[in-house]
Structure formats: structure tokens, C-alpha cells
Amino acid sequence: MSDLNKLTLADARDKLRAKEITSVELTEACLSAVEGGKTLNAFVHDTPDLALEQAKAADATLAKGDAPSMCGLPIGIKDLFCTKGVASQAGSAILEGFKPEYESTVSQNLLDAGAVMLGKLNMDEFAMGSSNETSVYGDVVNPWKVDDRNLTPGGSSGGSASAVAADLCLAATGTDTGGSIRQPAAFTGIVGIKPTYGRCSRWGVVAFASSLDQAGPMTKTVRDAAIMLEAMCGHDAKDSTSVDMAVPDFEAALEGDIKGKTIGIPKEYRMDGMPDEIEALWSQGTEMLKDAGAKIVDITLPHTKYALPAYYVIAPAEASSNLARYDGVRYGHRAKLSQGDGITEMYEKTRAEGFGPEVQRRIMVGTYVLSAGFYDAYYNRARKVRTLIKKDFEDVFAQGVDAILTPATPSAAFGLGEMKDADPVQMYLNDVFTVTVNLAGLPGISVPAGLDKQGLPLGLQLIGKPFEEGELLQFAHTLERAAGFVAKPEKWW
Amino acid sequence: MLDLTYETPKPKVIAGAKHDWELVIGLEVHAQVASNAKLFSGASTTFGAEPNSNVAFVDAAMPGMLPVINEFCVAQAVRTGLGLKADINLWSAFDRKNYFYPDLPQGYQISQLYHPIVGEGEVLVELGDGTARLVRVERIHLEQDAGKSIHDMDPNMSFVDLNRTGVALMEIVSRPDIRGPEEAAAYVVKLRQIMQYLGTCDGNMQNGNLRADVNVSVCRPGDYEKYQETQDFSHLGTRCEIKNMNSMRFIQQAIEVEARRQIAIIEDGGEVVQETRLYDPDKGETRSMRSKEEAHDYRYFPCPDLLPLEIEQGWVDDIANDLPELPDEKKARFISDFGLSDYDASVLTAETAAAAFFEKVAEGRDGKLAANWVINELFGRLKKDEKEITESPVSPDQLGGIITLITKGDISGKIAKDLFEIVYTEGGDPAEIVEARGMKQVTDTGAIEAAVDQVIADNPAQVAKAKENPKLAGWFVGQVMKATGGKANPKAVNEIVAKKLAD
């Protein structure tokens, strides 16, 4: 059978169990797709030997029957996850040569579920970016193209998005601090879900902003997202912020009916200068859910406009502290020192060489907002805003709203290099629809819902109640079926 | 229970060139929590291990590693708080204190700036002269220790040992209630004693398990009282913090030296600059640790890796119910139950091991006699051998046995000292030793009478004199004791001699 790499997780799983295909065949198909997709610069550390070894083991397990949920399914892992014995650099020069002696809980959960790891995926450095242009490995290219222009896959999980959209792997892990799963998913026509904060363990995931970071799956379909999320999440005593709650059967939750459920449409997400196509897509999505039996209500989330500034205080503040450990003392890059250089020079040179400009910018912003005399004006105020934003959502859910529908991004994918000279704030505006969800700790999913005039995919975002990922996936599944999005990028790479 | 009441001590006064000055002192004591594992990792806390052998991934701040609170360390902090009669905060939180140093792998220390686990408490500090100061404790918070930088092993390189990194510390912050160098040292001694009773810190200052930062300022007589009335710090002088003191002697010296330095500055018309200083015991001076340019901005903020620490009142109550008897209570009980002097009770309650030893010895026996034997004979003998009470070759049962033999009249006090030495050096059951070696006092009146008769028969001239002067009876007693090798019961000999001479 050809093009096994194009299968969804669900289809591949069923074929493996029906003994129509083997994991080794499936893995080899993906490995050759990875090899053929080098132009996209999505995979940055390939692990073909490990993958084939895992595939063989999976086949043996499948032969015995009673295989775990993701047995034999080849996936890619974002470089932010520490993977035992495999380079884990968070897309940064400062972690050059770093091979952890431990496996992150999420990737271990996936391995325990039988998944096959093809390699590590490119990303913005330390997950800071919305275009995957800040990586030490270079830009990731979106498989979707307009004319001859190379487009961004979005960021920071750009490698994951590009790899899944281009069928290099069946699915991939992502992480989302301010939209890093949902925005690239929308830019590449795939599904990406950021679960409720606390659902997935952060243990072994290189920290960006600890109170916002969450791992999640990036997949070809909503069903695949349900399958993979269930394998990824669960309580982990090693992460104090991980929630001790049973993990529901997310795939089974897809089958329900959304009749009588209430969808909120927040007026604050109707931004000035929003492209008509996005506006139109949003209306279409609303109609689709209405047609499926949902009640549509207009809602207000009054503090939305403060979300982006609050996010760009809190996230850099936490990052400035989280990234202090990259000091050249114990692992990763250490600058060559001159005679007479002391500790301070070691820090300054190492960090100047090891961190790219965007990471340096955020460290400086974060350091500034936490410094004496500015703490209350910035960090404390941002925390208050965060509380208000959380309350906005709580109020709406208390009024009977089951989920909220918004656009995922303010635009379709833009050209690589197009924003290079722009004010960094312009780039930050990419996160305008997604950061509120991180600040409130809620689950959010991006579902491909249509194409723009240029033929580029656009996504809609659904925001759910805390720990109601099952219900959220059900809404997403309904939207996915109604939108009938089947477009694929034309293979040019 | 006996109420221990004391006079308040006078503040230390230092005469300057122009005026008299009083001292105001507050201490931040860093006590290593007695725990097998670190505050946020499972790594061992054993002292003296191979460098970098007690290091978990999170201690080395490997990417993606997360702290998980050690419940035992929390219980130890709560226990300490209860021991200081302090408020326990059921809701507390951890903050990050950010600064760069190679022995601080995370680039921040996890501490509790805004919401400490323990609130206001108090420590009664006795000064041994009948006075005592009630020192208020402002707070106790939990925090991580840093590692150790070693700069003197190589001319070109520095080394880092992370074994201590992440070990749990309790920072115990006092109010500025301490008024002299002796009081400061006595405060640390008392804190250490309480924590040793509680088992929450071993108090070993040599290993760095107990260190103190000392805040010193000076003020004119009368100003402190104004501060007390108003709690307005502007009545007090500018303070300097002397960092990392790890001996009682240095604490006292440093305070004295620093106070004199400040007085000299003020009397010269200058101003004391608030700063952190180090005490150099060799030069007998304090010096500034860092200049203004390098002043740290720690950028404290709530640690996002840890949820707020919420504990239940029931859990605190369970710890409170399991609390051992504390030094003040034990001392009061020793005074009331055993009739001990304040001094003896203090000596015997200084350490739990000594107190427990004494209590076993005193059980069912004369408390004062037991105290004398423990303090004078046992402690004296142990000190000669540089032994701790826990290493005593004489067990409480053995010492108790000796005391029982004395009170039963089986041996005299003098013989008892010989017996003690035998038991100390050779071991064995005191009663059996006395029996086997014929050390027992002769109380058999027949035998004593025979001995007395013999002495009388041998010394007719003395008998005649004694009949006229009864005071000479003592000579006969001495002769009888000599004849019986000191084993005759002196009381019985006295009576028989008196009776025979009167016949």
C-alpha cells in the first residue's frame, strides 16, 4: 500500500489492528516522507533507527493482540520535549549538544501507549515566536504555498504543524503558551488542541512560562486529537501543577450530540481591521453549529483587550527566571573566555552567543517588569488583569454557555521574512485570539474550517470549560464534519 | 507547673566619646531542616558525601525539571513554629528570588517572601543571672539552600559542589528585641535547644547547619522605648546586616565591633549606610560585602511551578499533639517535681539526652541526689574524657543503682565514688560489685560491737579520758572504721561507741 504516511491516526490504528499493514511499513513510509521533506525543515533531529526498533516492538505487541491505544503509530516530537538520549535543544544554540538522561512525562506516556518516535521537530527558540523564524535550525516552511512564496507555518510549534500537514508523520506533539499549537494548526490546515492547564504534565518539557505552558496534540483530524490527547495527559506527581483527575475516553466523547448546547460568540473578538474572510468564516462556523442544533448567544468578555499586554508581561517575566539556568555552567553552550574573564563575563558572553534576539528581548522585558519599582506597575497589574480575564470566562460559563467560538488567527499564513523588519508587537498580534485561553487556563482547539481567496487554510477556535475537553472535542468534531475541510497542500517539496 | 518568672535584663550600653549608646539587634537564623531528603527533590542530605553525589536532576536545574514539595520538611517547619508558640499559616506560598551564581543552578532560590508558613512567635531567652528576655519571632519561612563554590583549589578555576543545593532551610526572623551581644548568643543557643528538642534541626554550627545573619543598630538611651511604644523604626538607628555567622563567639564579637564602628561614624558626624557586612575574626572588624553598583535586585515573584501550600488545621493539630515537652516546660517540671535549683534544672535540660538520662536516674530516687551525681560526677567524668552523654559508659540504671546503694545505707558517699569509677571503667552491676568486692557497709551490729569492744579493750587509757570528755568518742569511731576497712556503717558505729563508753 502506498502513501501510508497520509493516513490518520485512527485509520492507521484500525489497519494495524486488522493486520492490513504493519507498523514497520507505516514507519518506513513516514521515514521516507521525512527524508523527502527536508526542504520544509520540520524535522531537525531524526531518529530512524529508534523508530524502526520501536515499530518492530509495536508489531510484536500488535501480533499478540491487546495493543495500547497508539501502538505502532509514528509521530514527531517537538524539540521542547526532553527525550532520553536524543538531542533536545528547544530550538536554541544555548542547548547545543544537550541530550537529556530523562524522558518527559508526555513523551513517555506516548511511548507507553506504543507510539513510534520519528524524531524531533523544529520550533521557535524556547517556543518564543509566532512564525518559526527564531529557531537556531532555521525557518520552517509551510507546505501550503501561494505562487512561489514560502510561507510561515506559524509558531512556535511550526515544525510540528508543517510535518503533520505535509504527511511526514501521522501526528505530532506541540506546546502552547500563548497560541503555539492553535495558531500553527490554523496556518497549516490541521487540528491542534491546547488542553486545560494541568491536564498534561510539564515535567521534562523545557519551560517557557510555567503558568501558561501546556502540551497538546497536533493532528490531521479531531478524532486523532482525541486519541492522542488521551494518551498524552494524566496526573503526574512530578509536576505540582498537574491535576489529579481521571482521563475520560475522549474518542467516545466525539459521538455525542450538541443539540441544545449553547455556543457563545464574544463581541470583543471582532477586531478592527479583521479581514472579511475571517469574519465570514466565523459567521459560517456559527451557522454550522446552529444547524447542528446548538443555541447561539452573543456574549461579552470585557477584559479581552487587556489580554495581550498582560500576556506579554507575565510570559516574559516567568521566562526571564526560567531561562536563568542556561548559564554555561553545567550543560549546553559555554562561550570561549579570554584571560582574566570572570563569572560575569562567562554569563554575559555565553548568554549573548547562546540566545537569539527574540529570546534576549523577552528576557530583558521580563527582567524589567519584575524589577524593583516596576513590579507593581507591570507584573502585579498583569496578574490582576489575568484574574479578571479568568472571571470573564467563568461568568459566561455560569450563564450557561458551553463553549465559545472565535477565529483562531487574525490572518492566514504570511510569507517567511515578511515580518522580519516589523515592530515585534506586530508579530505578537498573531496571538490576540489565543492568549486569553492560556491566561484563563482553559482548553482551546483550532479546527480548519475553510480556505481564503489565496487558497490558504483558515481555522476557527473553540474554547471550552475547564477539564471539559471531551465536550470541546465533540463541538470541534461537529464543526469539522460540517465544514468538510479536506483540502491538502499540493506537494511541491 | 511552676511559672518561670524573670526580671528583664538591662540593655548593653557602650560609652562613646560623646554619649552613651544602646544596642538594638535582630537575627535571621538559617536552620537546616532535619530531613533525609531535600526540600524539592528526593536527593539525600547526608553531610560529607562525595562532591556532587547528592544531586537530583531538579537540583542541577536540568531543563524541564520541576520541584515537588517534601511534605516532611513542611511538617518540620510547622513543628518548629509550634515549638516557638507561633501562628501557623494554613495558606502559604513560594516565591523565586532571582540572582546569578554558579552554585545556584536554577538562577533563583525558591523561598517564601510574601506568605511564610509560620507567623508571629516568641522565644524566652534566659541569661543565667535571673534575668530573661522574651524575644518576638516575626516569621519562619522555608527556602532552598545554595550549593558550595570552591575558589581555592585551583589558581585558574572555580569548582562547584551541589550536594547542599536544594537542602531545606528554615529562616527564623526575630524582631529587633535583642539588646546586647550576650543576649544575641543566648537567643541562638535557646533556638537551637528548642529545635534539638523538636528534632527539627540538629543545630550543628560547624557543618553550617545553623547560621545567623545579625542586624545591628545603635540608638541613644530612651529611643528604644519610643520605638516600643509606637513600633516606629525611625526612632532606631540605621542597621547593618552581618552575614553568615556560624559561631556563638563570633556573633558576640561581631556585634560589639559593629556597634562601636557605627557609634564612631555617628559621633564623627557621619551617617551609617544600610548594607550587608562580613565579620573578619582575624582582623576583628566588619567590612562591606558589596558596593552599591552591585546591589542586587532579586526580582521576587510567585514561583509558578508550585501551587500555594495549603495545609489543614487537623494536620497541624496532629503535629501539635505529638510535640515533645519543650525546654521551658521541662525545666519548670524539674524544679517543681525534683526540687532542683534553677541552675541545676538549666544544666540538666540543656540537651534532651542529658535530661532523659537524669530522669531515668532520678526515677523513684532522691531527685537532688540524682542531679548532684549526674552533674558533678558523671558530667565531670565525661568532660575529662571528652565524651558526650550519649557515649556515657555508665548507663542510667548503673548510676541509679549506685545512688540506691547510698540511700539504702549499703555504701558511704566515699565508697560510692570509688564504685562509680569502677563502673565507669570496668562496667558491671553496682550491687554485685559491692557484694563481690566486700565494699558493703557493715551494719551487722554484732560485728560492729565486737570491733568496738576490741578497740575499748585495747585502749583503756583513752576510755578513761573519753568517759570524762564525750567529745573524744570520735577517736574510737575512727579506730573502728579503720579496723573495718571503712565498711562499717558510720551511724551504727557512732551509736554503739556512745553506748559502750557510757556503760
Facing B64 at nearest CB: one of A203, A241, A321: A203
Q: Which of A330, A363, A375, A378 to mutate to test the interface with B (most CBs of B within 10 A)?
A: A330
Q: Which chain A residues are within 8 Å of B305, Cβ to Cβ?
A: 207, 210, 240-241
Q: Which chain B residues are within 8 Å of A379, Cβ to Cβ?
A: 301
| Separation in Å, CA A481 to CA A223, A229, A486 | 11, 20, 10
Coil, helix or strand at residue B206: coil
Q: Answer whether B299 touches A (CB < 8 Å).
A: yes
B118 touches B87 (CB < 8 A) = yes
Give CA–CA dist A281/A190, Å, rounded: 16
Task: Fill in the DSSP letter of residue B4.
Answer: -
To the nearest 10°, report the CA torsion of B321, B327, B332, B337: 80
Distance from CA of A460 to the nearest CA of B (A): 30
* Per-residue model confidence as pLDDT tens digits over A427-474: 888 899 999 999 999 999 999 999 999 999 999 999 999 999 999 999
- Asked if B102 and A327 come within 8 Å (Cβ–Cβ), the reply is yes
Of the CA atoms within 13 Å of residue B146, those in its CB half-sphere come to 17
pLDDT the model gives residue B295: 65
User: Minimal Cα distance from B41: which residue of A?
Assistant: A238
Q: Which strands sit side by side in the sheet containing B95-98, from one edge to the other?
A: B108-111, B95-98, B301-302
Say whether A2 is catalytic.
Answer: no
Coil, helix or strand at residue B313: helix
Bridge-based pairing of strands B91-92 and A295-299 is unpaired
Reference B405, options B424, B420, B427; nearest CA is B420
Give CA–CA dist B121/B139, Å, rounded: 7
Q: Answer whether B314 touches A (CB < 8 Å).
A: no
B48: buried, middle or exposed (CB in 10 Å: 19+, 13-18, 0-12)? exposed
Reference A186, options A485, A491, A490, A492; nearest CA is A485
- Asked if B299 and A204 come within 8 Å (Cβ–Cβ), the reply is no
Q: Answer whether B42 touches A (CB < 8 Å).
A: no
Say whether A156 is catalytic.
Answer: yes
Alpha helices (runs of H) in A37-167, residue ranges in sequence order: 48-64, 105-112, 158-165
pLDDT the model gives residue B376: 94
Give CA–CA dist B369/B372, Å, rounded: 5
Q: Higher-confidence residue: B490 or A213?
A: A213
Lookup: cell for B57 = 536532576
User: Minimal Cα distance from A208: which residue of B?
Assistant: B64
Say whether A78 is catalytic.
Answer: yes
Partners of A119 in beta bridges: A46, A76
Q: Which chain A residues are within 8 Å of B60, Cβ to Cβ?
A: 330
Mean pLDDT of A334-341: 93
Give CA–CA dist A459/A110, Å, rounded: 26
Q: Answer whether B61 touches A (CB < 8 Å).
A: yes
pLDDT the model gives residue B443: 67
- Asked if B60 and A211 come within 8 Å (Cβ–Cβ), the reply is no
User: Minimal Cα distance from A319: which residue of B?
Assistant: B304
- Asked if B299 and A203 come within 8 Å (Cβ–Cβ), the reply is no
Question: How many CB pairs lie under 8 A apart between chains A and B?
Answer: 98
Chain A residues touching chain B at CB-CB below 8 Å: 81-82, 88, 90, 95, 98, 100-102, 104, 202-207, 209-211, 237-241, 317-318, 320-321, 323-325, 327, 329-331, 343, 347, 367, 370-372, 375, 379
pLDDT the model gives residue A425: 87
Q: Answer whether B301 touches A (CB < 8 Å).
A: yes
Q: Which of A180, A242, A320, A446 is catalytic?
A: A180
* Per-residue model confidence as pLDDT tens digits over A271-328: 888 899 999 999 999 999 999 999 999 999 999 999 999 999 999 999 999 999 999 9
pLDDT the model gives residue B2: 44
pTM: 0.91
Reference A303, options A195, A439, A446; nearest CA is A439
Q: Answer whether B294 touches A (CB < 8 Å).
A: no
Task: Fill in the DSSP letter of residue B336.
Answer: H
Q: Which of A212, A321, A359 to mutate to test the interface with B (most CBs of B within 10 A)?
A: A321
pLDDT the model gives residue A291: 97
B73 touches B33 (CB < 8 A) = yes
* Per-residue model confidence as pLDDT tens digits over A379-423: 999 999 999 999 999 999 999 999 999 999 999 999 999 998 888
* Predicted confidence pLDDT, tens digits, chain B (503 residues): 445 578 999 999 999 999 999 999 999 999 999 999 999 999 999 998 999 999 999 999 999 999 999 999 999 999 999 999 999 999 999 999 999 999 999 999 999 999 999 999 999 999 988 899 999 999 999 999 999 999 888 988 889 999 999 999 999 999 999 999 999 999 999 999 999 999 999 999 999 999 999 999 999 999 999 999 999 999 999 999 999 999 999 999 999 999 999 999 999 999 999 999 999 999 999 999 865 555 679 999 999 999 999 999 999 999 999 999 999 999 999 999 999 999 999 999 999 999 999 999 999 999 999 999 999 999 999 999 999 999 999 999 999 999 999 998 888 888 899 999 999 999 999 999 998 888 887 767 788 888 888 888 888 888 888 888 878 888 888 888 888 777 777 778 888 888 888 77
Task: Tally DSSP H helices, then E strands, for chain B.
Answer: 17, 16
Give CA–CA dist A341/A440, Å, rounded: 45
Q: Which of B290, B299, B303, B305 to mutate to test the interface with A (most CBs of A within 10 A)?
A: B299
Facing B304 at nearest CB: one of A101, A211, A367: A211
Asked whether residue A375 carries a pLDDT value surpassing 50, the answer given is yes
A256 touches A474 (CB < 8 A) = yes
Lookup: cell for A467 = 477539564
Q: Which chain A residues are within 8 Å of B108, Cβ to Cβ?
A: 321, 324
Q: Answer whether B304 touches A (CB < 8 Å).
A: yes
Coil, helix or strand at residue B93: coil
Facing A324 at nearest CB: one of B65, B98, B305: B98
B346 touches B327 (CB < 8 A) = no
pLDDT the model gives residue B1: 40
Q: Which chain A residues are within 8 Å of B300, Cβ to Cβ?
A: 370
- Asked if A241 and B102 come within 8 Å (Cβ–Cβ), the reply is no
pLDDT the model gives residue B294: 59
Give CA–CA dist A145/A413, Å, rounded: 9
Coil, helix or strand at residue A211: coil
Reference B250, options B203, B206, B209, B191; nearest CA is B206
Mean pLDDT of A20-24: 98
**Cell 475520560, residue located:** A248
Q: Which chain A residues are within 8 Å of B68, Cβ to Cβ?
A: 237-240
pLDDT the model gives residue A463: 98
Asked whether residue A227 carries a pLDDT value surpassing 90, the answer given is yes
